[in-house]
Amino acid sequence: HPYWYAHVIRIFHLMVCDYSVGSNFGEPQRMDVLFVHWFGRDTTRAVGVSARQLYQVRFLANDDTESFNFLDPNHVIQGVHLIPAFAYGHTDEYLGPSFVHSEEDSDLDWLEQPRVIMLSTKYVHRFVDWDMFMHFRGGGLGHEVPREWDSYLQSDCQAVQEENETFDVEKEEGDERGIESNGSEEEEEEEGEE
C-alpha cells in the first residue's frame, strides 16, 4: 500500500533563520509545517478491492515516539475521508485527555476490538469522489505514484473484475452500439438456431 495517513492537528506558519554552514539565507524565511498524529495501517485483515474491504487505519500508540511529528505540507497528496468504526464504540483509554481531540469528541477515540486491538480504528473511504477513487484504483491522470504501485493497485482491481459475473445485455432493435455479453449458453444456442 503506497500511502501513509495522519490526522493534521495544527498548521504552523513559522519565520525561520537558517544559520547553518553553507546556508544562503540569514534573513527570516517563511516555513509552513503540519503537526500530525500518525495512523498505522491495520494489517490483521485482508483489505482492498479484491477483499471487498475498505483499508483500515489506527492511531499509533501514545507512547510511540513517532506517533506525533511535524510534516512538510508539500508531502501531502490529498485529504482523505476517514469513517470511525462505530460498531466497536469509543474509549478514552489510549490517548486520554489531550488538545489533539476536537471539542466534540470529548477526549474519546473510536474503539475497534477492545480485547485484541487497543487503538482507534477508522476506515479509509476510497469512494468519496472520482479523484480519490483513482488514487486507490491506480492509473489516474496526473497521479504521481511509482509504476510498481500503480501496477499493484490496478491488479488489485482487476482481480475483482475477473471474479464478478457479467450479465447479458440484450440489444434492442435499431441499437447500433454493439453491446457485448459474456457469451452465455443461451446466447450460443440462439446463434446455433439461426
DSSP string, 46-115: --BTTTTB-EEEEEPPTT-TTSEEEE-GGG-----EEEE-GGG-EESSSS-S-TTS-GGGTT-EEBS-TT
pLDDT of residue 101: 56
Residue 56 lies in a domain: yes
pLDDT of residue 131: 60
Asked if 36 and 9 count as a contact pair (C-beta separation under 8 A), the reply is yes
Q: Give CA–CA dist 78/126, Å, rounded.
A: 12
- Number of independent structural domains in the chain: 1
Residue 179 lies in a domain: no
Count CB atoms within 10 A of the CB of residue 175.
Answer: 10
Q: Give CA–CA dist 50/168, Å, rounded.
A: 23
Residue 182 lies in a domain: no
Residue 136 lies in a domain: yes
Residue 170 lies in a domain: no
Q: Give CA–CA dist 60/110, Å, rounded.
A: 13
DSSP SS3 for 165 = coil
Cell of 79: 485529504
pLDDT of residue 153: 56
Q: Give CA–CA dist 114/130, Å, rounded.
A: 35
For 34, the domain range is 5-15+30-163
Residue 22 lies in a domain: no
Give CA separation, 141 vs 48, 130, 173, in Å. Answer: 21, 11, 37
pLDDT, one tens digit for every residue, the chain (194 residues) = 567 788 888 899 999 887 777 777 677 889 999 998 887 777 777 766 667 777 777 777 667 778 888 999 988 877 777 777 776 666 655 565 566 655 555 545 544 433 223 335 565 655 555 566 565 555 555 556 555 655 555 555 434 434 443 333 343 444 343 333 333 334 334 444 44
Structure pTM? 0.54
Residue 77 lies in a domain: yes
Burial class (CB in 10 A: 0-12, 13-18, 19+), 4: middle
pLDDT of residue 71: 92
Residue 83 lies in a domain: yes
